[in-house]
Amino acid sequence: MQQRFSRRNFLRALGAGGAATALAACGTMPGARRRGPNVVVVGGGPGGATTAKYLKRFNPGIQVTLVEPKATYHTCFGSNWVLGGLAEMDDIAQTYGALKDRHDVNIVQDTVTAIDPDARQVRLAGGDTLSYDKLVVSPGIDFRFDAVEGYSEAVSRDIPHAWKAGEQTRILRDQLRAMDDGGVFVLVAPGNPFRCPPGPYERASMVAHYFKQHKPRSKVIILDNKENFSKQGLFMAGWERLYGDMIEWVPSSQGGQVEQVDPETRTVYSDGGLTRFRADVLNFVPSQQAGAIAREAGLADDTGWCPVDQLTFRSDKHEDIFVIGDACIAGAMPKSGHSANTQGKAVAAAIVRAMNDQDMLPLSTVNTCYSLIGPDYGITVAAVYRFEDGGIAGVPGSGGVSPSEASDAFRRQEARYAQGWYDSITADTWG
């Protein structure tokens, strides 16, 4: 009876036209058991995986299908720790067994190639079609490979971005290991907005840590498409403390705005070609946009990101589609794994509440970004968010960064908690 109750409420929430519509919706579900409403989640990163798990938690009567092409997902967060030698690739690998076996999520290893909002169906590369009552799109980012002359997806195999973890992380790690002492590592950091605002600066820190252990005459140069960056004061103080002058940060106004890449010589050019930097290992992180499927489905606006109702994450473009994580425009929230996790819970609540014909609850989301400057030197930025005046905003008086003056014990404790954060958020998302 509970299943019928859920479906009836769900259809009422949809404003569906009655039993005929209900039967039609059931009839188009290929191979689906008839048991409650049907939510398809696109993408098995922190946003999509959390959504799937918490939809089942909030209402076990919902049928949840998660579509993700990879059997093993390497988290972008933590991947800098691999470059620093603090973690192995296996330490940042997540799989879908617990979602399937413990949480009864239907895992489909495939790629969504098209979304048909009118028919409420997604098409898969493998040829299948899935019907949905509600669709949650969490595709993460794609790169604007054409934004800078000389860089491309093909070039990224030699000059990695390593901003989606996995094979790209391995390529960069291996290049750093193969580099001679005294070499130069150049990291080209993207302009705003982009995934993981403190990420480039943690990466510079971790590479410097590796160099200090193994190649102490080497140098780290960050060429930045910005004039300032996340946790800047804390990073710069930590760099000086741990690495002396090994790390050099070049803001956009001083030649950091890279306009051209020469992959053959690993040289980048700025200031109309007047300034050049030659790297022994070059890490080019392109500017970014919402994942391809979101843009191809018409969910993005001309910024390349997806506008949503920031209370429920419902797409501005289609009634039954929700967009979360890096791909969406979420007010004051940064594009981070933590944001995606907390947005996954919020969208799950919004969908379950709508199925019960209830309004969404007051939004409460959180972000905490841990960064390691060294193995015993951690810093954070944190915020608590509410929905206010039509958008997501930080709660006044809350949040902020770690204190600029702090004891070694304080930094060590935040470094220890960085690993604890990783262990808990991955268990909360995929476990």
Partner 1 sequence: MIRKHITSATLALAAIGAVSVVQADVTRGELMATTCFACHGTDGHSAGSMPSIYGYPPEIMINQMKAFRDGRRPATVMDRHATGYTDEEIELIAEYLSRQ
Lookup result for tokens 């190639």: 113
Three-class SS state of 249: strand
Lookup result for tokens 């794994």: 337
Q: With the C-alpha atoms ordered 215, 218, 223, 229, is the resulting torsion angle positive or negative?
A: positive
Three-class SS state of 123: strand
Work out whether 352 is an interface residue with partner 1 (CB under 8 A).
yes
Work out whether 287 is an interface residue with partner 1 (CB under 8 A).
no
Work out whether 322 is an interface residue with partner 1 (CB under 8 A).
no
Work out whether 5 is an interface residue with partner 1 (CB under 8 A).
yes
Q: Which of 156, 310, 342, 371 binds partner 1 (CB under 8 A)?
A: 342
> Looking at 86-94, 159-167, 227-235, 397-405, which segment touches partner 1 (CB under 8 A)?
397-405
The β-bridge relationship of strands 141-143 and 134-137 is unpaired
Q: Which of 20, 245, 397, 404 binds partner 1 (CB under 8 A)?
A: 397
Site for partner 1 in 129-158 (CB under 8 A): none
Work out whether 19 is an interface residue with partner 1 (CB under 8 A).
no
Q: Where are the beta strands (DSSP E) in 243-338?
A: 247-250, 258-262, 267-270, 275-278, 281-284, 288-290, 306-307, 321-323, 328-329
Q: What is the nearest approach in angstroms of partner 1 to the Cβ of residue 274?
A: 43
Three-class SS state of 142: strand
Work out whether 6 is an interface residue with partner 1 (CB under 8 A).
yes
Q: What is the nearest approach in angstroms of partner 1 to the Cβ of residue 12?
A: 11
Of the chain, the end-to-end C-alpha distance in Å amounts to 30
Greatest CA separation for the chain: 73
For residue 260, list its beta bridge partners: 149, 269
Work out whether 383 is an interface residue with partner 1 (CB under 8 A).
yes
Work out whether 365 is an interface residue with partner 1 (CB under 8 A).
yes
Q: Give the nearer residue to partner 1 in terms of CB position, either 18 or 31.
A: 18
CB 222 within 8 A of CB 189: yes
Query: Residue 13 and residue 125: Cα distance in Å, rounded?
Result: 31
CB 160 within 8 A of CB 174: no
Q: What is the nearest approach in angstroms of partner 1 to the Cβ of residue 46?
A: 9
The contact pattern for partner 1, residues 32-71, with x = CB under 8 A and - = no contact, is ----------------------x---xxxx----------
Q: What is the nearest approach in angstroms of partner 1 to the Cβ of residue 169?
A: 22
Q: Give the nearer residue to partner 1 in terms of CB position, either 224 or 414.
A: 414
Q: Which of 271, 356, 388, 391 binds partner 1 (CB under 8 A)?
A: 356
- Residue 185 phi/psi, 5-degree rounding, is -100, 120
> Looking at 160-168, 287-295, 322-330, 394-402, which segment touches partner 1 (CB under 8 A)?
394-402
CB 80 within 8 A of CB 202: yes
Query: Residue 332 and residue 322: Cα distance in Å, rounded?
Result: 18
Lookup result for tokens 């954060």: 421
- The contact set with partner 1 (CB under 8 A) reads 1-2, 4-6, 8, 54, 58-61, 338, 341-342, 345-346, 348-349, 352-353, 355-356, 358, 361-362, 364-366, 368, 380, 382-385, 395, 397-400, 402, 410, 413-414, 416-417, 419-428, 431
